Amino acid sequence: FKVSRKETTPFGDQKPGTSGLRKKVKVFVQPNYLHNFVQATFNALTAEKVRGATLVVSGDGRYFSKDAIQIIIKMSAANGVRRIWVGQNGLLSTPAVSAVIRERVGIDESKATGAFILTASHNPGGPHEDFGIKYNMENGGPAPEGITDKIYENTKTIKEYLIAEDLPDVDISSIGVTSFTGPEGQFDVEVFDSASDYVKLMKSIFDFDSIKKLLSSPKFTFCYDALHGVAGAYAKRIFVEELGAQESSLLNCVPKEDFGGGHPDPNLTYAKELVARMGLGKSESQVEPPEFGAAADGDADRNMILGKRFFVTPSDSVAIIAANAVEAIPYFSAGLKGVARSMPTSAALDVVAKHFNLKFFEVPTGWKFFGNLMDAGLCSICGEESFGTGSDHIREKDGIWAVLAWLSILAHKNKDKLGGDKLVTVEDIVTQHWATYGRHYYTRYDYENVDAGAAKELVAYLVKLQSSLSEVNKIIKGVRSDVSNVVHADEFEYKDPVDGSVSSHQGIRYLFEDGSRLIFRLSGTGSEGATIRLYIEQYEKDPSKTGRSSQDALAPLVEVALKLSKMKEFTGRSAPTVIT
């Protein structure tokens, strides 16, 4: 093939967000749009590092992925990349990409240098919905801000990109290697099985035999919903073929370009079918719900954990996994190095860290901040309130890992009970956890697609307001006299303890005397307008008061948050779009 230099002009809107660049498909299909971003990434990595590299290119299979993969292959060839690895049909979950970068050995003993992950995660897909792309580094984790800032700077000044126009499209549907010769020598595209590296890694972490025993008990019933995302490509292999679950326990496990028209976000609003099956829907189902249910998002890095008629908040989930990991999961049997959560995630994990005297870190929203801690051996388990949980086995959050972690805990607690008449349930595990550690009532309100100017004004108002605690407390007392005082407020700033880099303006926090917290921040993953997130949390230590409904328990704080932020005045919204 030949290398062509193509003239191009910058687009002004290619700033990567919390997790890469996400836009409507109609934006991505503009001539040169994807090309500019890919070249800007190569330039940020430097030509020296790109030349000879082995890059993984795959994603959640959403609409436009197949075209994007061919474009990236041709641009990689022209930029001197040595090898491209593609999961069969372009499918690899985000955690599987991370695992492939870290673990896979290809032909000629090659190892990957990095990856382009093609996903907009939990955002809907299809010609009228979202597409996305992000770059992951050699450690398997998302590019740090130093690199994403450089990519953005490059997109603003880009003048040309390189492409091998005459390279034929590569068949990514069948496994095998296709080789080409370019000006700098050989260029290979290797298509491989999407699941095998990841399955191997999971088998090295968990005790599959004990989970298998649990799943084969007639008293234990199981259900997994992939919401037509890429998790389907792993669920059958792991849950059915390896662990012996019935095929009928898999819902929506065929990956689709448009996720079947749905919103592939595993929460109580969007995972409707699973929610109904688990007995949490509006109308009670006729059949007895399964003991355990779980769902994933489009790229399978998120998870939702449910028990029979019972919802586990993600903040509780990571705390419970951390509290039980050493006993229940072989990978952690030597102990935990430390734990970490994102700032808006509830403090349930903090209490566990204290109890076990573990190193503990609070980082900004987004998985990229956990990677440095893990690389430095400071953190084993971490999580976010946004249905993200994971560990240092890779450098992304991992939806199926979280399900296997829960199944491991259930298997461990039921080790001697499988023959008896009652199993320890998900609900039992969570309520016992609350009894020991106290409960963090928690909810998140999302105001999606708000006018961007209005959202900025609301943030500016809250930034100014937090500087005067007396003003804040005056407003609060005027709304609810039964809510405690704010004792500290700030804009969250994080200094990475490993490389010293500082991330500022990561959300506004109001911290109350009784441990309650109100947090406001703008989403960095949306593709239209602005999304305001409001996080509300209240700690209850008294075991006789941990059984309330969270919406009831949090009602006073919600009222305070809405008045304090003038939410309705700024946004015109009297209710959030989604409550989780």
Q: Taking contact as CB under 6 A, which single stretch among the options 330-338, 450-458, 518-526, 570-578 is the one that binds ligand VG1?
A: 518-526
Nearer to ligand VG1, 122 or 237 (CB): 122
From 243, 220, 226, select the one nearest 291 (Cα to Cα). 220
Residue 529 near ligand VG1 by CB under 6 A: no
* Rounded-to-integer distance, Cα 64 and Cα 21, Å: 14
Residue 386 near ligand VG1 by CB under 6 A: yes
Residue 7 forms beta bridges with which residues? Answer: 160
From 418, 151, 423, 406, select the one nearest 303 (Cα to Cα). 406
Residue 503 near ligand VG1 by CB under 6 A: no
Nearer to ligand VG1, 189 or 296 (CB): 296
Give me the phi and psi of 225, to 5 degrees please: -115, 115
Residue 301 near ligand VG1 by CB under 6 A: yes
Annotation says 121 is catalytic: yes
DSSP label at residue 233: H
Give me 400's structure tokens. 């199926």
- From ligand VG1, Co ion, none, which one binds at residue 396 (CB under 5 to 8 Å depending on kind)? none
Give me the phi and psi of 131, to 5 degrees please: -130, 165
Nearer to ligand VG1, 260 or 524 (CB): 524
From 131, 97, 126, select the one nearest 114 (Cα to Cα). 97
Nearer to Co ion, 129 or 291 (CB): 129
Residue 399 near ligand VG1 by CB under 6 A: no
- From Co ion, ligand VG1, none, which one binds at residue 62 (CB under 5 to 8 Å depending on kind)? none
Residues 145, 207, 297, 540: which binds Co ion (CB under 5 A)? 297
Residue 299 near Co ion by CB under 5 A: yes
Residue 396 near Co ion by CB under 5 A: no
Using CB under 5 A as the binding criterion, the count of chain residues that bind Co ion stands at 5
Residue 365 near ligand VG1 by CB under 6 A: yes
Using CB under 6 A as the binding criterion, the count of chain residues that bind ligand VG1 stands at 18
Residue 122 near ligand VG1 by CB under 6 A: yes
* Rounded-to-integer distance, Cα 361 and Cα 372, Å: 12
Residue 443 near ligand VG1 by CB under 6 A: no
Residue 289 near ligand VG1 by CB under 6 A: no
At residue 6, what is the residue type? Answer: K
- Which positions ≥6 away from 436 have C-beta within 8 Å? none
From 90, 74, 5, select the one nearest 34 (Cα to Cα). 74
**CB 413 → ligand VG1: shortest distance, Å?**
29
- Among 19, 93, 121, 408, which one carries the catalytic annotation? 121
Residues 388, 390, 438, 556: which binds ligand VG1 (CB under 6 A)? 388
Residue 301 near Co ion by CB under 5 A: yes
* Rounded-to-integer distance, Cα 578 and Cα 557, Å: 18
Residues 121, 425, 443, 506: which binds ligand VG1 (CB under 6 A)? 121
C-beta neighbour count of 27 within 10 angstroms: 18
CB 425 within 8 A of CB 431: no
Each residue 315-344 as x (binds ligand VG1 by CB under 6 A) or -, in order, gives ---------------------------x--
Nearer to Co ion, 274 or 536 (CB): 274
Residue list 72-131, contact with Co ion (CB under 5 A): 121
DSSP structure string for 261-299: GS----STTT-HHHHHHTT-SSS--SSPPPSEEEEE-TT
Q: Taking contact as CB under 5 A, which single stretch among the options 78-86, 302-310, 315-323, 523-531 is the one that binds Co ion?
A: 302-310
- Which residue is associated with the tokens 């390279």? 167
Cα–Cα distance list, 337 to 219, 314, 355, 377 (Å): 35, 21, 14, 7
Residue 444 near ligand VG1 by CB under 6 A: no
At residue 24, what is the residue type? Answer: K
DSSP label at residue 254: S
Active site members: 121
